[in-house]
Amino acid sequence: MNTKSVFDITGKAAIVTGGALGIGFGIVSRLVEAGAEVMVVDHDEKHLADVPNRLKIGKVRTLALDISKEDGWEKAVKACVSDFGKVDILVNNAGIYPQVPILKMEPPLLEKVLGVNLKGLVFLSKAVALQMIKQGHGGRIINIASIDSLHPSMVGLGAYDSSKGAVWSFTKNFALEMAPHRILVNAIAPGAIATEGTSKPLANSGLTEAQMKEIMDSFTKRIPLGRQGVPDDIAKVVQFLASEASDYMTGSMVVVDGGVLLA
Ligand SMILES: NC(=O)c1ccc[n+]([C@@H]2O[C@H](COP(=O)([O-])OP(=O)(O)OC[C@H]3O[C@@H](n4cnc5c(N)ncnc54)[C@H](O)[C@@H]3O)[C@@H](O)[C@H]2O)c1
């Protein structure tokens, strides 16, 4: 098989959560460009409605739902099967990162973060895996974790770090359970990626936009490659994990952080 066809995913059907903005939109763009049909799932109806216009090429459908809610998981699978006939790839990207020190945290905040970042990811993965098993030809589940799954990046992300640590543990366990079905389950750990979410002050942080910029600038100085990432830095690795180029990988974490974990 030549290099081009190893990375080709023409005709594959994918679900990408949180695909309206940020890293998720970058992933949708790259998968579409590589030949996949994509069901874009997001709860931000305004930006979601605009996805087909921003992409211009390829076959995408959109589905507005909150992935932390139980009624969404089956709905996402059914929509993908009804529009594209199957599900080959799931990218669990939707995530939130409110910044609240643990000493100021109340239970609803932890429940909210775990609801989106962990519960939504786990049960959408289950719903998709059941469909992939029925289809009988394997599949790919790609979880967008974080460098915070491995090492805390800053104070105030206790809830987030708990969720992302769990995403990494879940990825390994589910990879083991799914291996007999040839469903490969891998994770990506992004470092600092400039997105809509990171450019505004983190929710509940009490920080101004200027203070937020100062924090991001000082973080950027610690990145050995000397720049923040862009969504396509993550999207290209998603394409790799969605393609035959990664056929012998499961339960792996690919760190895409410009070297910041080394710093
Ligand atoms: N940007 C970074 O520096 C960075 C670093 C490490 C990990 N990550 C992870 O990458 C992912 C994307 O981050 P981003 O910076 O692009 O975020 P972002 O805030 O720019 O975009 C997130 C998207 O997810 C959607 N979303 C959020 N909650 C949802 C829900 N309950 N249901 C459906 N959609 C929902 C939002 O509407 C938005 O479109 C997250 O999982 C995040 O934790 C980001």
CATH assignment of the domain containing 114: 3.40.50.720
At 175-224, the pLDDT tens digits run 999 999 999 999 999 999 999 888 776 655 667 778 777 878 888 999 99
Average the pLDDT over each of 71-75, 131-135, 180-184, 195-199 and give the range with the smallest value.
195-199
* Residue 37 within a domain: yes
What are the distances in angstroms from CA 237 to CA 30, 190, 240, 242? 10, 10, 5, 9
pLDDT of residue 189: 98
**Please, what is the average pLDDT of the chain?**
95
The CB of 50 under 6 Å from ligand 1? The reply is no
Please identify which of the residues 73, 97, 160, 240 carries the catalytic annotation: 160
- 44-48 average pLDDT score: 98
What domain range includes position 62? Answer: 3-257
* Residue 194 within a domain: yes
* Residue 262 within a domain: no
The CB of 121 under 6 Å from ligand 1? The reply is no
Using alpha carbons, select from 31, 1, 33 the residue that is nearest to residue 13. Answer: 31
Contact 98, 202 (CB under 8 A): yes
Which residue's CA is the closest to the ligand 1 atom numbered 19? 197
The CB of 92 under 6 Å from ligand 1? The reply is no
Counting the structural domains of the chain, the total is 1
The CB of 25 under 6 Å from ligand 1? The reply is no
Annotation says 160 is catalytic: yes
* Residue 263 within a domain: no
- Overall pTM surpassing 0.85 (yes/no): yes
* Residue 111 within a domain: yes
* Residue 196 within a domain: yes
